[in-house]
Amino acid sequence: MQDIILLKQGEIVLKGLNKRYFEQKLIQNVRRRLAPLGKYEVTCLQSTLYAEPLDDGADMDAAVEAMTKIFGVASVVRAAGCEKTPEAMAAKAIEYMRGAMLEAESFKVETKRADKSFPMTSIQISQYVGGELAEAYPDTRVDVHDPALTVHVEVREARAYIHGTPIPGAGGLPVGTGGTAVTLLSGGIDSPVSTWMIAKRGVHMIPVHFFSFPYTSELARQKVLDLAKVLTAWCGRMTVEVVPFTHIQTEIRDKCPEEYFTLIMRRFMMRIAQGVADRNGAKALVTGENLGQVASQTMEALGCTEAVTRLPVLRPLIGFDKEDIVRLSRKIGTFELSTLPYEDCCTVFTPRHPRTKPRVDAVEEAEAVLDVDGLVREALDGIERVRIEMGEEV
């Protein structure tokens, strides 16, 4: 029998009458992620998903790696199944854990008895399997307090399973259970992390990128699409909405006071993101803004930029240190791309002395010379949609 992957649910187990809805969405996401890696049967029983390969061509190593990036999964286990008898469990442990037992200086056995009808207690199973392992590998001593290796035995409904240390999962809630949000995705470090954080709460993300050619290059645009490819491993398939932003920025440069350039630009971004949200039924906007990080992210400035939208603006990084954001960026795999030297539209026409404590009425007066509705409409009509699915641009 081939190995099987066990996926332990996280906070889904705390859900009440709608728990089944979350489980079904998790099963869908797991099946979709496994589809390119071989044929798997995915089932759910007692808060655990079972992903069983159906042919020898299934890539188990890649599958285990992919499962660590599924939101809603608390831990991932690659295990071997066997009959639910003490002798079968001990024999399978001796066989399956051979490499780890030969390398470890000490070990212990831990048992989880999900099938409460099984006649032996968890302690009795651990003692029996541990005794057989100790006899089979006499050079590996038993240490129940601080072992180098823990051999896990799980007695479940249909079979028993033997495995080593579980791999931490992504946690959170399955993507698709928390509705849809529009995320402002630039080429920097912050916005991919904020996108990841809200997706972790079960939200399907629609990235919007503002592109100011020729002030920003095609390489800068491709950098953002590459970031989206990395994020699909966690967030699932997405469509990036690339907004032509050059005309808006040149209009702001030519007609508005320099100290308000960035604020007015951000207000246009919010209006356009609101338009994308309306078209897609999204219920919130997501930004990578961080309080006090730059001049446009003071409390007064944030108030001015969000004043033009009626949707909630989610800012998951608002209280983070930069080191916290960089750490998460490295974890999710976006840091190296984010630090490539291709500038985005936020660095175009940056004011020398930006207003850090603006008043909404003053900003409204400064942008009154612009055809706001016409510029927003023009940008929305010119959007290019790029489908990103499972790390591929299609």
H or E, element range at 286: strand 285-286
Domains and their CATH numbers in the chain = 4-168 (3.30.2130.30), 180-393 (3.40.50.620)
Q: From first to last of its 394 residues, what are the pLDDT tens digits of the chain?
A: 579 999 999 999 999 889 999 999 999 999 999 999 999 999 998 889 999 999 888 899 999 999 999 999 999 999 999 999 999 999 999 999 999 999 999 999 999 999 999 999 999 999 999 999 999 999 999 999 999 999 999 999 889 999 999 999 999 999 999 999 999 999 999 999 999 999 999 999 999 999 998 888 899 999 999 999 999 999 999 999 999 999 999 999 999 999 999 999 999 999 999 999 999 999 999 999 998 777 778 899 999 999 999 999 999 999 999 999 999 999 999 999 999 887 766 666 676 777 788 899 999 999 999 999 999 999 999 999 999 987 544 3
CA distance 373 to 61: 52
Dihedral over alpha carbons 80, 83, 88, 91 (to 10 degrees) = -20
103: DSSP letter: H
H or E, element range at 324: helix 322-332
Angle 393-212-217 (CA atoms, 0-180°, nearest 5)? 60
For residues 183 and 140, the answer to whether their CB atoms sit within 8 Å is no
CA distance 56 to 76: 21
Strand partners, 44: 49
Q: Let me know how many helices (H) and strands (E) the chain has, helices first.
A: 14, 16
CA distance 142 to 131: 9
In this prediction, residue 245 carries a pLDDT of 96
Residue of 202, 245, 239, 255 lying closest to 346 (CA atoms): 245
66: DSSP letter: H
Task: Please tell me whether the peptide bond between 244 and the residue prior to it is cis, using omega within 30 degrees of 0.
Answer: no
Strand segments (E) across 98-229:
106-113, 141-142, 149-155, 160-163, 167-168, 180-184, 204-211
In this prediction, residue 221 carries a pLDDT of 92
CA distance 163 to 77: 7
346: DSSP letter: G
Residue of 51, 55, 102, 38 lying closest to 81 (CA atoms): 51
In this prediction, residue 1 carries a pLDDT of 52
Question: Any idea which residue has 């996108």 for tokens?
Answer: 195
**What is the maximum span of the chain, computed from C-alpha positions, in angstroms?**
85
CA distance 203 to 309: 20
CA distance 69 to 377: 37
In this prediction, residue 296 carries a pLDDT of 75
Residues in the chain: 394
Query: Both ends of the chain: CA-CA distance in Å?
Result: 37
The pair of three-digit structure tokens given for residue 122, joined into one six-digit string: 């968890």
CA distance 89 to 132: 10
In this prediction, residue 215 carries a pLDDT of 85
